[in-house]
Amino acid sequence: GEDVEQSLFLSVREGDSSVINCTYTDSSSTYLYWYKQEPGAGLQLLTYIFSNMDMKQDQRLTVLLNKKDKHLSLRIADTQTGDSAIYFCAESKRGSSNTGKLIFGQGTTLQVKP
Amino acid sequence: DAMVIQNPRYQVTQFGKPVTLSCSQTLNHNVMYWYQQKSSQAPKLLFHYYDKDFNNEADTPDNFQSRRPNTSFCFLDIRSPGLGDAAMYLCATSSWGRGLNTEAFFGQGTRLTVV
């Protein structure tokens, strides 16, 4: 099946770390993504990870992938008020019958308090 | 520089009046997608073009159609918009199946209001 699940809401204080979690069910997924969406805007790709990787770090962002548990997380270090947004986890699959289409989770609203 | 451009950003249409949303890209990607995103929900894929081949999702209503006259442009046509079609419509592109698979690049979206 194709199901991506996320917790709906996370609140942190400015300067703390934020960890947003995601679970997926399709073991054939080969790319896993994190997108950020600010109010009224489109989707901004933050980072992505290949399924043969365990971790990827990009400045303040760290992505961890646990393939056994089909669990993906996004850690934002030193969270700022500008990080307040909805964060979507998404998966896509390789293969002749798939053309990179993304399956999204419901999104996690991150609220950063000053 | 915007690479996936959607026009207009905001569209108001009357109930039942056909409306067309537009998407263009400067990336020369072979795949173009249309997603519908309703308030507080995840984006939902309506259909996509792989080169010239149209791929409809099984649960996309017949009211939604698409055209891709060339690599750069893709249109979403809603033949008879209902109140339930009010949503943000997101266009995305990617390169797929040509040795280099890229992530999807999204436009800013068109917010459709039906009155």
Average pLDDT of adjacent 10-residue blocks, chain A of 114 residues: 83 97 81 90 88 90 92 96 96 66 91 95
| pLDDT of A1 | 47
Higher pLDDT, A98 or B62: B62
pLDDT given for residue A94 in this prediction: 59
Per-residue pLDDT, averaged over B95-110, amounts to 82
Q: Note the pLDDT of residue A40.
A: 81
What is the rounded CA–CA span in Å between residue B75 and residue A42? 17
B35: exposed, middle or buried (Cβ count in 10 Å: 0-12, 13-18, 19+): buried
Going from the C-alpha of B40 to that of each of A10, A73, A109, the distances in angstroms are 15, 21, 10
SS3 B83: helix
Q: CB–CB of B43 and A44 under 8 A?
A: no
Q: Write out chain B residues lying below 8 Å of A100, CB-based.
A: 31, 94, 96, 101-102, 104
Residue B44: other Cβ atoms inside 10 A: 17
- Tell if the CB–CB gap between A43 and B41 is shorter than 8 Å: no
Contact assessment for residue B15 and residue B114, using Cβ atoms and an 8 Å cutoff: yes
Mutation target vs A (from B3, B38, B96; most A CBs, 10 A cutoff) = B96
Say if residue B45's pLDDT is above 70: yes
Write the DSSP assignment of A63-96 as a string of letters: EEEETTTTEEEEEESS--GGG-EEEEEEEEE-ST
The partner residues of A73 in beta bridges, in order of sequence, read: A21, A64
Q: CA-nearest residue of chain B to A92?
A: B103
Fill in the DSSP letter of residue B42: -
How high is the pLDDT of residue A30?
Answer: 72
- Where on the phi/psi map is residue B14: left (φ > 0), alpha (ψ -120 to 50), or beta? beta
pLDDT in tens, B5-36: 999 999 999 999 999 999 999 999 999 999 99
More reliable by pLDDT, B25 or B39: B25
